[in-house]
Structure 1
């Protein structure tokens, strides 16, 4: 590997342009070490030119220049001289195996290269070429070329897969941060706005209630700021931080009390020992309950809400059901993204569970199932409402 990319030592353009140099070396060795005429030197130079044309012009197919390699090699061997130029055929076999667009074309050019020693044996009289040795050499080089081609392909696929995994990890991290920001900032601001609105409505006729609502809004704001500051600190650390305490399932009753203090009519029903719920599942359960209550306060503030938690075998079931008037979406914003339920569905799916939500004859219902032992899966559903 070079520079961390799929460009390896056997990179196509670099190695391809080396082949004419090898062909030139074979021709020079043949011309220097063995008696040769001017015609023989020309024949030895033709494969060099053919390899050069193919190597430096990517539009020239190897099948076209293969004739300019095989024919001069065969003719040059008519007198039994210049045998080193036969190495051009092994170069042809390697190039066919390495750069052919398909296995079929690579095989046909390999057969042509392997047939060259046989053709030489037919025109030589007496026969002086070692056909068996050349056949073994050509086949061996062809196999090496296929191995190099496969290695390059695997390296490219590995690099593409690594890039895809990096993109998926980045998207997963962005979604996780989006869920956390939605939970920390969105819920805190929604609760603060609810209390501020309550204070504004009773400011003149009941100053004490207005002051209490503002105090609650202040407490919610401080708590949200602490959670946001903690999250930003964890994200900015370069090392692997120890996780700070986070809200878990056993704090859901406190969450319900806060919703009641904000004016939401909510009833909580719990069955089972939630102390044995694993930490990750416990945090997800708390966040889903938090979002369900926030949705109820936003979309059905005058309805009654039932929040039920139950341990059934190896599953945890959460049901949030409102009974009463449900506010409709603004007509001017029908396609607003529903990030609340998207986040709940992603949290459930990450643990191997599922969430479903939809209208009922009396209001709205959210049903969520989480396994007690997390099983990581990919989210399958896109929710439609937050």
Structure 2
């Protein structure tokens, strides 16, 4: 995907379009065919024309049954067309649309024309305004229409057409009020439902982003642990080979052999991680490393000049895959840190099988190395993240006078192992 380039507005100092604030609810609801928001959406001509035709035909038909009202004439038709025409701006200016439709309907009723679909434009305008977030304005427009109709029907009717008109029954006002409440209630229901859908979509998007971030961190930890350990061994052996190349060619050859072995193993593990990325969902071609490969770590550490003594306490059990991999990587990273940051030539790895937990302790006698380690500083962070993902902990700190100790506790509750 090509990187977005800033627009001319950005070059003049205006904020880029993609950095603007979130669109309003209406603009999220109505989008143009090119994906832009409602500012470039076309006017809703088809729906407005269809609504106008329904209102005109329905009002003319309703007038035949209301002989006491003023027959629908050209002026009445113009008022109905105005009530519908103002809805053309409902997507851009919903408040103007709902108040315009309500005002035109009120004038139409005050002129004594027949009741009927004249309320449809008001309902559409109210619905659009509520969805757009202008709830109080929509309620106010509907309330204005109802109160205006109440005044016309029970007070101003003496001076308004038709002549010799009488006040209608109060049941009619109850019906009009019920209609207004129903319109507002339906609009509010749709608004609430759309907000729920928006929250659900945002929740799904956040969950997907969280899963992607977790996967990215997992891959970063894997690559860090693989490369940091192998490159540390390669770095130490390269230094030995350079120092002994002239004086002890055989020892230099041994160092080069260790470099070849460590680099081959690192390439294999990196390839496994990359294959998992290229073919998600497929099972890895080789099993993930675990504590059964602890002797390999000891051998690699010995190639780097570090003698590692291992002990095991408790009754060994088969570990869950996640805990087994985490234990291996924690030991691997701890030994890598000893090679990088400590002048000690011996280290101790203790594996303890406790009821419901695996306890790892890796320590050296120090002192700290004066050489530049070249580390990224993410080793301890990665160990803690691995343990935390399983509900465990990692403690790291000084041991003795100059040494360093890493203690990891990985819970195995819920993953009962079996004696191998």
Q: TM-score with structure 2 length normalisation?
A: 0.73
1:97 matched to which residue of 2? 130
- 1:288 equivalent to 2:330? Answer yes
- 1:217 equivalent to 2:259? Answer yes
Conserved 8 A contact 2:110-2:149 = no
| Equivalent-residue separation in structure 2 for 1:211 and 1:76 (angstroms) | 102
1:73 matched to which residue of 2? 105
1:382 matched to which residue of 2? none
Select between 152-161 and 123-132 the one with higher mean Cα deviation.
123-132
How many Å apart are 1:23 and its aligned residue?
5.5
- 1:112 equivalent to 2:140? Answer no
| Equivalent-residue separation in structure 1 for 2:79 and 2:381 (angstroms) | 73
Conserved 8 A contact 1:20-1:48 = yes
2:393 matched to which residue of 1? 354
Conserved 8 A contact 1:196-1:217 = yes
* RMSD after superposition: 3.5
How many Å apart are 1:274 and its aligned residue?
3.5
Within the candidate set 29, 41, 51, 2:87 is matched to 51
| Equivalent-residue separation in structure 1 for 2:302 and 2:221 (angstroms) | 24
Select between 113-122 and 342-351 the one with higher mean Cα deviation.
113-122
| Equivalent-residue separation in structure 2 for 1:38 and 1:154 (angstroms) | 45
How many Å apart are 1:185 and its aligned residue?
2.9
2:72 matched to which residue of 1? 36
Mind listing any 5+ residue stretches in structure 1 that lack a counterpart?
Answer: 1-5, 376-386
Matched positions, count: 362
2:176 matched to which residue of 1? 134
Residues 71 and 321 of structure 1: CA distance in aligned 2, closer, same or farther (over 3 Å): same
Q: What SS does the corresponding residue of 2:317 show, helix, strand or coil?
A: helix
Residues 82 and 95 of structure 1: CA distance in aligned 2, closer, same or farther (over 3 Å): farther
Q: Which runs of structure 2 are paired with 1:1-386 in the superposition (5 Å)? A: 11=30, 17=44, 20-21=48-49, 24-25=52-53, 27-29=55-57, 32-33=60-61, 34=63, 35-52=71-88, 54-55=89-90, 58=92, 60=93, 62=95, 66-78=98-110, 80-84=112-116, 85-101=118-134, 103-115=135-147, 117-122=149-154, 123-124=156-157, 125-127=165-167, 130-237=172-279, 240-242=282-284, 244-327=286-369, 330=372, 337-359=376-398, 361-373=401-413
| Equivalent-residue separation in structure 2 for 1:41 and 1:31 (angstroms) | 9
Mind listing any 5+ residue stretches in structure 2 that lack a counterpart?
Answer: 1-24, 32-37, 64-70, 158-164, 416-420
How many Å apart are 1:354 and its aligned residue?
2.0
What's the CA shift string for 1:115-152, capped at 9, x where partnerless?
A: 45534532443245833333333222222211222232
Q: TM-score with structure 1 length normalisation?
A: 0.79
Residues 157 and 44 of structure 1: CA distance in aligned 2, closer, same or farther (over 3 Å): same
Residues 86 and 105 of structure 1: CA distance in aligned 2, closer, same or farther (over 3 Å): closer
Q: What SS does the corresponding residue of 1:241 show, helix, strand or coil?
A: coil
Conserved 8 A contact 2:80-2:108 = yes
